[in-house]
Amino acid sequence: MLEQTQEAKILDAAYAVIAREGYTKTTLRQIAQEAQVAVSQISYHYENKEGLLLAVARRVANRYYDYMQSSLKPEMSPREKGGCFIRLYQEVLEDDPALFRVLYDLVGLALWSEPVRCKVQEIFKGIVDQITHDVFTTELMRDIGYRYSRETLASLFFGGIFGIAVQALLEPNDKTYVKSLGALNVVFREREVE
């Protein structure tokens, strides 16, 4: 197996420490200790703590996209892809909650840091664009008959998943939150006749 570069070790360590401690409690010294490098090497590779955080944000986005690429199949119908998004979030919440802890930490920091806000916006836009493209297709919109735009329903869908995931992290012993993600399938029902 190839040995990791120093930059990759630092990024792995930062992700692990932030997932465990939260960004505000994380110090460069902790990250350096976890990566087994000198603190000066973090500055060399990432400039500062915020630069490292932005690299962690890219990692979170890449990890999410990797999950999606391994789950979504071209032959799936839009409804099946919507169900796939839901199941994927359920699985990630159960198997990789650190991903959500880091993502939510990034969201909180995005309220106070312009570079982090831009990166989080980019991540969210990518997710909503993917949901719009893969799930809320013109065909599905015709089937379900909603008057809302594809982008509006994709944002609603993502917001529902994101909000339920927050609840699940806040109450890790209550598995009803993770299971309640399945209720989002209601979005795919044809609307009732008025």
CA-based nearest residue to 94, from 167, 158, 172, 18: 172
Residues 6+ apart with CB under 8 A from 40: none
Q: How far is CA 75 from CA 64, 67, 80, 82, 89, in A?
A: 21, 17, 9, 13, 20
Banded pLDDT at 3 (limits 50, 70, 90)? low
pLDDT > 70? residue 192: no
Its pTM stands at 0.84
Domain boundary among 47, 67, 84: 47
Both 139 and 181 in one domain: the answer is: yes
> Which domain covers residue 21, as residue numbers?
1-47
Both 72 and 132 in one domain: the answer is: yes
Give me the CATH number covering residue 30: 1.10.10.60
Structure tokens at 166: 């927050």
Report d(CA 120, CA 86) in Å as an integer: 21
Both 87 and 139 in one domain: the answer is: yes
**For residue 49, how many other CB atoms are within 10 A of its CB?**
16
Banded pLDDT at 193 (limits 50, 70, 90)? very low
Within 18-177, strands assigned E span none
CA-based nearest residue to 161, from 186, 180, 188, 136: 180
Tell me the per-residue pLDDT of 115-163, one tens digit each, with 9 for 90 and over: 989 999 999 999 999 999 999 999 888 888 888 899 999 999 999 988 9
Residue with the larger pLDDT of the pair 192 and 63: 63
pLDDT for 194 = 44
